[in-house]
Structure 1
Amino acid sequence: MKKKIILIAVFVIAVAASVYLYAMYKPHRDITAETADFTVSVKQLQEEYAKNDTMFNKKYMDKTIEVKGVVSTIDDAENGIVIDEKLSVTFNDSTKKEIAVGKSIKIKGRLLTYDDILEEFKMDQASVIK
């Protein structure tokens, strides 16, 4: 009887460890290789968020989207930019050569959240679309 309990316990621990290791070390998403789920402007994001933030979150959060807008700020320290003063973007790599304040840009990335304090959307893993 004790052997049976020990075998079951070892089996349960092995399964739990396997699930944990898979969840912790699964490959990351490659946003640059994904097709965008939505193509929107920053203004559209603001309008939809203002109408119904719950529906907005279900629709856009953690999704790959394309956004077109005008560069407001370049943040070299964070490897990012701000588009239309409302979308904070962090890039995968350094793409600063082709970006300038006041220039129109189209990017693809993962929408993370809306920051109520700064009143801006957050996007990461972005890349410039030419």
Structure 2
Amino acid sequence: MKKKIILATLAIIALGAFGYYYVWYGGARNVSAEDAAFSVSSKNIIDEFDSDIEKSNTKYLEKAIAVKGIVSKISPKQIIIDHTIVCDLKESDPSIKQGQPLTLKGRVVGYDDLMGELKLDQCSVVNND
């Protein structure tokens, strides 16, 4: 009887460890390798979210998109385009300069209607105009 309890406990621990690993590491996407579902300007996508946030969430949320605009702020792992698109970079790129036109591809993770900002993660440079 003790043997069955020990085996059942070990099986539960193994399943729990597998589930934990899969949730954190197994389902990761490589957005830079995906085709962009949409290619938009920063102004157009912000206008869409401002006019109908629910419809825009349905259209863009969790999708890879390419966004074009002017770099307004740079930090090592984040770029802000036109003061409205916040892109978390996968890797920093020292060639990017403030004020330059840029196209970035990333996954839409949400829109902050209070700040009027669209958040993207896993961003990479598509076109360094």
Give the TM-score taking structure 2 as reference length.
0.79
CA RMSD between the two structures: 2.5
Alignment CA distance shift 1:75-1:118 (3 Å): farther
Number of aligned residue pairs: 123
**1:115, CA displacement in angstroms?**
1.6
Runs of 5+ unmatched residues, structure 2: none
- Are 1:95 and 2:93 counterparts? yes
Which stretch shows the higher mean deviation, 113-122 or 19-28?
19-28
Alignment CA distance shift 1:125-1:68 (3 Å): same
Alignment CA distance shift 1:47-1:116 (3 Å): closer
Distance in 1 of aligned mates of 2:59 and 2:92: 29
Percent identity of paired positions between Structure 1 and Structure 2? 36
Distance in 1 of aligned mates of 2:116 and 2:106: 19
Runs of 5+ unmatched residues, structure 1: 1-5
Corresponding residue number in structure 2 for 1:55 = 55
- Are 1:117 and 2:114 counterparts? yes
Give the TM-score taking structure 1 as reference length.
0.79
Q: How does 1:79-94 map to 2 (within 5 A)?
A: 79-94=77-92
Contact kept, 8 Å, 2:79 with 2:86, in 1: the verdict is yes
**1:23, CA displacement in angstroms?**
3.6
Contact kept, 8 Å, 2:50 with 2:113, in 1: the verdict is no
**1:19, CA displacement in angstroms?**
5.5
**1:42, CA displacement in angstroms?**
1.0
Contact kept, 8 Å, 2:71 with 2:98, in 1: the verdict is yes
AA partner of residue 52 (structure 1): D
